[in-house]
Structure 1
Amino acid sequence: MNAPALPALSAADFADYFRAVHGDSPFPWQQALLERLACGAGWPAALDLPTAAGKTAALDAALFHLALEASLPREARRAPLRIALVVDRRLVVDGACERARRIAAALQQAECDTAAAPVLQAVAARLRALAASARGDGPVLAVERLRGGVPRENAWAESPLQPLLLLATVDQLGSRLLFRGYGLSEYAQPLHAGLLGEDTLILLDEAHLSQPFLDTVRAVGRYAGGDWRQTPPLRPLQIVPLSATQQHVAGALLLSAADRDTPVLARRLRAAKPAELLECKAEQLIERLTDGARRLLAQCTPAAHDLFTPGAPHEPVIGIVVNRIATARAVHARLRAEADTDALLLIGRMRPLDREALIAQALPRMRAGRAEGDNPRALYVVATQTVEVGADLDFDALLTQSAPLDALRQRFGRLNRLGTRAGAPAAIVHVRDADKDDPVYGGAITACWQWLGTVAVPPPKKRGRGQPAAAASVDFGIDALDARLRESAAADTCFSPRRQAPVLLPMHVDLLARTSPPPALSPEPALWLHGPQAAPAEVQLIWRAELPTDVDGAIEDDDERALDTVRAALTALPPSSLEALSLPIWQLRAWLAQAETLDEGADIEGERAPDEPPQRSRAVLRWDGSDARLISSAQIRPGDTLIVPTRWGGLDAQAGWAWNPAARSEVPDRAEAASAIGRQRAVLRLSAACIEHWRLDAGAAPATVNEAIAAARQQLDALFSDAADAPPEAGALCATLQAIDGLPAAVQATLAALAQHGARLLRYGRDGRALIQQRPARVAADDGDESSLTLRVGLEAHCRGVGAQARAFARALGLPPALVDDLGLAGDSHDLGKADPRFQAWLYGGTRPAGAALLAKSGLDARDRFALTLARAQAGYPRGARHECASVQLLRAHPQLLATAHDTELVEYLVGTHHGRGRPFMPLVDDAGAATLDARFSVFGQPLRLRGGHGLQRLDAGWAERFASLQRRYGWWGLAYLETLLRLADHRRSAEEQRQGGNDA
């Protein structure tokens, strides 16, 4: 049966698409880029475009190119399915992320709205055809943001066919590409590397900030190419640097004369931005910045100067950009005390939920293109380097600390961004007695300041009576500064130091690709992401109210029952990246040690760490995706997800809950909010600690909230007391709590969601109880045997379903027919090892009834840790045993199962690694029962026999040699990609089985 014809689409339709999504016509360079891609010329070597020239429209061009190629034969498509924009900053005010979401929303709407623009309907239909999914079965276009490090939160990696716009930092995408995804389990690492190493385009924004990463990805592109594998890659990794300040690159796309004549762009390029050059001593910096901000505000008052064009907002936004987090915090503390003005602190170190709440409230006041009235009060925006890139902000005036020339150009790109105002006052403050060798910028600050002095316009000799002395100035308008650079070129020393990555050698790739188990001496990815001077990577820090603490505030480590309660609570409501704060390891260690002084440095990734980290500190809880244990600060590893009590503080309420190691007030627990947004699951924890915590975010009067909380505790204590007749029913419990007046609005909203969607009660610990909305559990991308404990599904039905899904994935991607067949055969065979009678007994709850059907999945509750442990012990299935090893054992004992394989070694390998183990060694398990194992059964109408141990863990079993030979055949990333296709087929089939309610066939 032939697929339906796709709607017509051509490069000439790009302008209509652009207007339909964004409301504006594309600039000439944007249309030219799309036409270049459409004619098969490929991406240019770089996009060398100034700030405010619309570089993020590269996302639109890449996506439209993908839609154009949807009508080609699958094997002929070259436009990547996954389009990643990477930037070395964390600020959520990210024009690219907003743009991506706007594109996805427009396409999703067009799919179900017959009145939508025909071009959007055509693009949506073509992307849906690539995804090979029915309408309503997932989005037309997925948009994901890699925030970092929480295990099992991998929604973006659920389908190899899903068109995807991915927004990520260098650390998050780079570590995944190098098989060392920060915060991922070792079993998930090859899955992410496989997806990113094939069929992916990386657009590296502000590439001058990330030279080591650019060098590394180019090396990965070479190693993933045809020269380093025996079979050709289908769609190798691509990277395109984007920057307004990068060095000249041959073959780069530049603005054309037509672009410069476009009225909108011409206005941005020609806008004047004269900046005064001011100096002070180091001890005067905070005062000088504060006074300078007030002076710029006075200059922006319409009564003082007519700086605004008609219709523009008359309440100004003053940007203050500095080089250190501590400086930003000190300036913000002073300005937020000003009368008749507001002050906002923007730093990268915030939890995403807090940051997004802050930005949602403040963004309309400071975004580019804001309307009159959007900013009702004068606003100071105090920021670090986070606003240099990816932030679509528009300041009426700018005060900045001196910095390298490239950093200053980026900062001035946020001043009069659209060129709509007649004037835009600015000033640069330089610390004359600062260390000439800055920890972040080296000697570039001093060199740039000296160059600015040579090109500055002298101050006017005459000034009015009472006016302050004028200073020399430099116009940082785009065209004006370009003219100055042509007249007097700035030396390379004026620009931020460009770190160079160590050469990525094949031996390094060999070590990185060994994920399970990783080698004892494993390369540190930060070396290739940020250069040899980089600090160790970051960790994710989460605050939870339920952690027990002693009288000194330390986490209790002598009460195993209390820790078990915490583990159960974390299992019931797993940590989410939305509630996690990214923090360098050295900063966290200093905070845990309660250091009296802590230099937080700059707000950039990969900053050099202090040489002497503290040695003695509080212990912290590490969450690995399924369990938690207490560790010392010395045991903390890059990418760890760490849990601390909310009582420890660390976040500043006056700054929107931004990181502040000196803050001591209790921190809000965001677990419920993160679950509602990130997992679409309403959860309400009802332990005593969590109920008391409701006060922190309560919007009602404290007395009312206190009375409501006391009433809730009284009701719950009675319902769950030992004297209660029976545990309460979940629905009735929701109704009881909803009847209490004065509960915080967030609690009321959660109760309403639970009442609407249905709830069940989960008990954990001594006084803990949680209401959890009933939804099928999502299949995790780094799942283990626990994924077999969902709904009852027959073994044959599941295997055939996975095989069919693997073939469908491979065909839709245009893989060669032999690989299509072998992936399908691996899917058909992947779970044969579950026929082990001990595994079957475990799935049946400890004992398998006589004559019962072979199962792939059971109906046990994966959250009930006690019941699972008891059932496994009763069944005699050893802890740590791998059913996929038994599957390989059966394939070797019965060669007829592989009679149709084109590459027998590949099929066996895919079966053995379909849960991420065996790269390159299989786990060693004490399985005393294997010696007497002798089971006969029938699968697919064939009699099979499983006896003895599989022996794959032995060094002489040849498994590691097979891993190495297949890497040479298919490449490091190519082999991981093939593994990923099978694993995602398994996940997709399992999710479908859950939607269907399971089966016994």
Structure 2
Amino acid sequence: MDGFAGIFEALTGRSPLRWQCRLHDLFLTGKLPPALDLPTGLGKTSVMAVWLAAKIAGAPLPNRLVYVVDRRVVVDQATEEAEALRRTAIAHGLLPDLPISTLRGQHLDNRRWMEDPTAPAIIVGTVDMIGSRLLFRGYGVSAGMRPFQAGLLGVDTLVVLDEAHLCPPFQALLVRIAAREGLGPSESLGPDAALLPPFILLPLSATGNDTEGAFALKEEDEKDSFVRDRLTAGKRLTFTPSDGKVEDGLVREALALADSPGGRIAVFCTSREVAQKVADRLVDRKAGRPPEAVVLLAGARRVHERERAKEELQATGFLPTRKDQSALSPPTFLVATAAGEVGIDLDADHAVMDLVAAERMIQRLGRVNRAGGKGRLAQVRVIDVAPEKESAEAQVRREACRRLLESLPIRSDGGFDASPGALLTLRKNRDLLVRASTPAPLYPALDRPTLDAWAMTSLKTHPGRPDVAPWLRGWVEEDDPEITLIWRRWPWDEHGRLPDPRTLADCFEAAPPRLLERLEAPRSLALKILAERAKRVDLGDHVPAVLALADRVEELTLAELRDKRRRDPFFERRSADMVFVVRHDLGGLDGHGLLAGDAAGPVPCLDDGWDDEILKNAGLRIVFDEAGEASRSEGKGGWRQVDRIGLTDPQRPDAERYLSIQVWRDADRETGGDPAVRRRVQGLYDHLGEAEAEAAALAERLRLPAPCRAMLMAAAKAHDLGKRRLQWQRAMGAPRSGEPYAKTNGKGANPALLLINGETYRHEFGSLLDLERAPEVLAGLDADLKDLALHLVAAHHGYARPWIAPVDPDWQTSLASHRERAAAAALRFARLQATWGPWGLAWWEALLRAADQRVSRRLDEGAQPAEETA
């Protein structure tokens, strides 16, 4: 395959455009532009293909590409493009594999991107999901996994920030991280600091942010018909007065356009309430507009329902599809809030919209007549009406936006020319463009003490550890932050009772919220709907209706949910990563998955109502087990039991009742549970030997110098020595004969055996003691690398950052010596983090952890049916 054109065509099925070729030339040098400034619709997501082609050609680029989008609804579309690249790259023999992971949508985070830090991988996610992980506070991520993910995202990564102008606080954060000034390795490292591969930021924007040296179109690029058609796509914009409510005008104009050529009408609304009203009024079976011809695209839906919305967009013709399915006969309508404005390849024939800030208007216009072409002309009707309770500042911005749009060229048939090429002229009026755009919120600068506090991930609490939200989104003026809800059937019993606090905490530790079931919504909206539901149901005033998952599980009864004085404080002053668990029979979600006060329960959810295929996507299921049925079915089809939570029934104290927590293990799903529990057993020394070989291979591919390679291998050779304790073997259900085991099938496990003086024994801590007794394992390493090896052993499951439980069942040692060893581990962490920087140290940890997990994954993939415990 000859050159970039051949590789790009093999990957995408089309020849590269001129601008893509110029960008590839830059990528080959490893020196990327500070920003990519292209009009919407010109295929900015092809940056993934340009990067991959450059990596295949041997360009000195980061191994991981992180594609960040600001709207949650479109993440899966970017993932689909990435997965198409994976299929074609493998089919043409260009790469053996290309792990693709997303932190939203059907695919979820399968964690494939963490398996080989030396190989190309693509991760797609939102600002919140990527940003929180970068800052060691990953939303929905366990404390043990946070440093692993932060290390791999903060080092050897190219972050492509789509529509960067919509999230200036996050862009500023990424600029600060890329600069590394005061956040990276110490100067004392000298040349060794170059061992850490770089973190690079490439912002993408369709509105122009005057970044000096930004990559932009040149006159020669218009020779490509694709570019020319998109720049000149006909769009005739007119303003329409409204003498009533905004929804009246939107419905009227949408119906007036229904008979226009094409028949796909997009209706953009500022508020969710208006969008719901418009969608309801557009449905009219007698007029040939059945419910399936009207798609409502709004936020505040679970990932599960957002996936269904994509199918509806394909059926109505607003999204392309590779499936052989016929679109509905026109007219069809898409009613969208901000969720349909950014990063989604929508293509409507005409559009109606209210007047909003300039950057949002430009995005909306990019969803109409997107492809252009001869003879296509989109009618765009803008209703300029003041929304209810509009602030003076918003009114000034709206009026400035109208003047800005009225400065567009006048078409020969009347109306304003809103083609992408014409929109470029708006940049000439910079002052008016600024006044017509939403001002960037204030945000805090990232400093080293705050970052260090976040990086202490093994501390449950820390007085100097603030929420990361302001660094991602800025200080938002309106006091209505989003909160996260999930619906669950368990652990409530049939009488609405909860188990004791310890068992309750165990339930959610074993079965934490999964991305598929999470719904983010403005707090005021969530409280309004939940309060309405509380008034409509009779579950018992003292029955807990909502739980808050924090350091301990907090409860809110149904009576308290009805009482504003008790309800509001419960939901306020909560951390950004807190999740509220709603009883599924409280209801609150309608058929579209939208919050609705009149939507009676029970809500189909992860542990009641979702079928097995959905649960496989979630990677988790919770099975009630009263007579051993769950444990007998466990193991079929890839489901593996990782925990069993005992439930008590006061009316039947002798009855055995359990929740069986099971995870789905295969190559493409998110997994969970204890990493020591696998599909088959493995001896400890076999595991250590394989981990050492994996560490050597990773070091070789990273071209680490010989001393660092020896350090990583020594850490891998010793990392699980603490599993030799008989107590650990019994607790994990290891076979009772033969050598000690590193991996067990979990049958007969009793983790309670690891409790010592109220703390849980960690095998990593035991490994530190064993290394003291066998100093020859680290012999030959200089003092600094020996320090690093000891830390990697202690921290390879996320502990010792800085705290690890100072308990060990070894009978020859004292509690005082354990405390001294734990204190030394904490000081070692602080010393190494000061030397390598937070992301640098976490990257070293990730290398050892990746070697360990590659061995475990290979064990599962090549496993036969699990052996019976002797």
TM interval, short-chain normalised: 0.7 to 0.9
Mapped pair 1:403 → 2:356: yes
Mapped pair 1:16 → 2:6: yes
Partner of 2:838: 972
Kindly provide the CA deviation profile for residues 463-500 of structure 1, in whole angstroms up to 9, marking residues without a partner as x: xxxxxxxxx84321122233465479634111121234
Partner of 1:502: 444
Within 1, Cα distance between the matches of 2:642 and 2:150? Answer: 38
- Which stretch of structure 1 is more off in the superposition, 17-26 or 186-195? 17-26
SS at match of 1:787: coil
Partner of 2:497: 556
Change (3 A) 1:329 1:775: closer
Q: Give the CA deviation at 1:167.
A: 1.2
Summarize the alignment of residues 515-664 of structure 1 with structure 2, pairs less than 5 Å apart: 515-517=457-459, 518-533=461-476, 538-546=482-490, 548=492, 555-557=496-498, 560=500, 575-584=513-522, 587-594=525-532, 619-621=545-547, 630=555, 633=571, 637-653=575-591, 656-664=592-600
SS at match of 2:383: strand
Partner of 2:219: 257
Partner of 2:539: none
Contact 2:297 2:339 in 1 (8 A): yes
Contact 1:152 1:184 in 2 (8 A): no
Contact 1:683 1:770 in 2 (8 A): no
Change (3 A) 1:150 1:680: closer
Aligned AA (1:187): G
Q: Give the CA deviation at 1:502.
A: 1.7
Change (3 A) 1:290 1:835: same
Within 1, Cα distance between the matches of 2:382 and 2:296? Answer: 19
Within 2, Cα distance between the matches of 1:775 and 1:173? Answer: 24
Within 2, Cα distance between the matches of 1:290 and 1:760? Answer: 52
SS at match of 1:273: strand
Within 1, Cα distance between the matches of 2:787 and 2:670? Answer: 24
Contact 1:839 1:877 in 2 (8 A): no
Summarize the alignment of residues 676-715 of structure 1 with structure 2, pairs less than 5 Å apart: 676=613, 679=616
Contact 1:194 1:974 in 2 (8 A): yes
Partner of 1:344: 295
Change (3 A) 1:63 1:883: same
Contact 1:825 1:901 in 2 (8 A): no
Contact 2:684 2:740 in 1 (8 A): yes
Mapped pair 1:798 → 2:687: yes
Q: Give the CA deviation at 1:349.
A: 2.3
Q: Give the CA deviation at 1:200.
A: 0.8
Partner of 2:193: 232
Kindly provide the CA deviation profile for residues 594-653 of structure 1, in whole angstroms up to 9, marking residues without a partner as x: 4999xxxxxxxxxxxxxxxxxx9964345699x977576468542234432332222221
Within 1, Cα distance between the matches of 2:328 and 2:600? Answer: 32
Q: Give the CA deviation at 1:769.
A: 8.9
Change (3 A) 1:952 1:676: farther
Aligned AA (2:739): A
Q: Give the CA deviation at 1:255.
A: 1.0
Query: Which 5+ residue runs of structure 2 have no aligned equivalent?
Result: 536-541, 557-569, 648-654
Contact 2:722 2:766 in 1 (8 A): yes
Mapped pair 1:919 → 2:860: no
Contact 2:147 2:798 in 1 (8 A): yes
Mapped pair 1:415 → 2:368: yes
Within 1, Cα distance between the matches of 2:455 and 2:273? Answer: 39
The structure whose Rg is larger is: 1
Within 2, Cα distance between the matches of 1:394 and 1:178? Answer: 36
Within 1, Cα distance between the matches of 2:679 and 2:411? Answer: 75
Partner of 2:179: 222
Contact 1:516 1:916 in 2 (8 A): yes
Contact 1:46 1:251 in 2 (8 A): yes
The counterpart of 1:284, out of the listed 237, 242, 245, is 245
Change (3 A) 1:804 1:727: closer
Partner of 1:72: none
The alignment-based identity, stated in percent, is 28
Q: Give the CA deviation at 1:841.
A: 4.2
Partner of 2:255: 294
Partner of 1:854: 740
Partner of 1:889: 769
Partner of 1:948: 814
The counterpart of 1:992, out of the listed 844, 852, 858, is 858
Within 2, Cα distance between the matches of 1:907 and 1:332? Answer: 60
Q: Give the CA deviation at 1:18.
A: 3.3
Q: Give the CA deviation at 1:451.
A: 3.4
Q: Give the CA deviation at 1:915.
A: 1.3
Aligned AA (1:327): V
Within 2, Cα distance between the matches of 1:667 and 1:514? Answer: 38
Within 2, Cα distance between the matches of 1:624 and 1:148? Answer: 25
The counterpart of 1:33, out of the listed 23, 34, 43, is 23
Within 2, Cα distance between the matches of 1:236 and 1:356? Answer: 35
SS at match of 1:165: strand
Aligned AA (2:716): G
Normalised by the length of structure 1, the TM-score is 0.73
The counterpart of 2:69, out of the listed 87, 111, 122, is 87
Partner of 1:326: 273
Contact 2:796 2:845 in 1 (8 A): yes
Contact 1:543 1:669 in 2 (8 A): yes
Aligned AA (2:342): V
Within 2, Cα distance between the matches of 1:770 and 1:505? Answer: 44
Q: Give the CA deviation at 1:268.
A: 1.6
Change (3 A) 1:152 1:520: farther
Q: Give the CA deviation at 1:980.
A: 0.9
Kindly provide the CA deviation profile for residues 704-744 of structure 1, in whole angstroms up to 9, marking residues without a partner as x: xxxxxxxxxxxxxxxx99xxxx979968xx9xxxxxxxxxx
SS at match of 1:92: helix
Contact 2:351 2:368 in 1 (8 A): yes
Partner of 1:467: none
Q: Give the CA deviation at 1:453.
A: 4.6
Summarize the alignment of residues 824-863 of structure 1 with structure 2, pairs less than 5 Å apart: 824-843=713-732, 853-861=739-747
Q: Give the CA deviation at 1:454.
A: 5.8
Contact 2:358 2:437 in 1 (8 A): yes
Change (3 A) 1:786 1:624: farther
Partner of 1:157: 114
Q: Give the CA deviation at 1:565.
A: 9.7
Q: Give the CA deviation at 1:520.
A: 2.4
Contact 1:275 1:425 in 2 (8 A): yes
Mapped pair 1:447 → 2:409: no
Kindly provide the CA deviation profile for residues 956-985 of structure 1, in whole angstroms up to 9, marking residues without a partner as x: 934333222212322211100000111122
Kindly provide the CA deviation profile for residues 137-160 of structure 1, in whole angstroms up to 9, marking residues without a partner as x: xxx112211129999964443332
Aligned AA (1:838): Q
Change (3 A) 1:779 1:334: closer
Mapped pair 1:359 → 2:305: no
Aligned CA-pair RMSD: 4.2
Partner of 1:962: 828
SS at match of 1:826: helix
Contact 2:355 2:398 in 1 (8 A): yes
Change (3 A) 1:628 1:776: farther
Query: Which 5+ residue runs of structure 1 have no aligned equivalent?
Result: 1-8, 70-76, 111-119, 129-139, 301-306, 308-313, 461-471, 598-615, 689-719, 735-752, 935-946
Within 2, Cα distance between the matches of 1:152 and 1:396? Answer: 35
Q: Give the CA deviation at 1:786.
A: 6.3
Aligned AA (2:9): R
Contact 1:760 1:771 in 2 (8 A): yes
Within 2, Cα distance between the matches of 1:682 and 1:837? Answer: 32
Aligned AA (2:282): L
SS at match of 1:297: coil
Kindly provide the CA deviation profile for residues 56-91 of structure 1, in whole angstroms up to 9, marking residues without a partner as x: 11110111111111xxxxxxx621221111111111
Partner of 1:464: none
The counterpart of 1:910, out of the listed 785, 788, 792, is 792
Contact 2:103 2:109 in 1 (8 A): no
Q: Give the CA deviation at 1:870.
A: 5.9
Aligned pair count reads 822
Contact 1:52 1:268 in 2 (8 A): yes
Change (3 A) 1:621 1:446: same
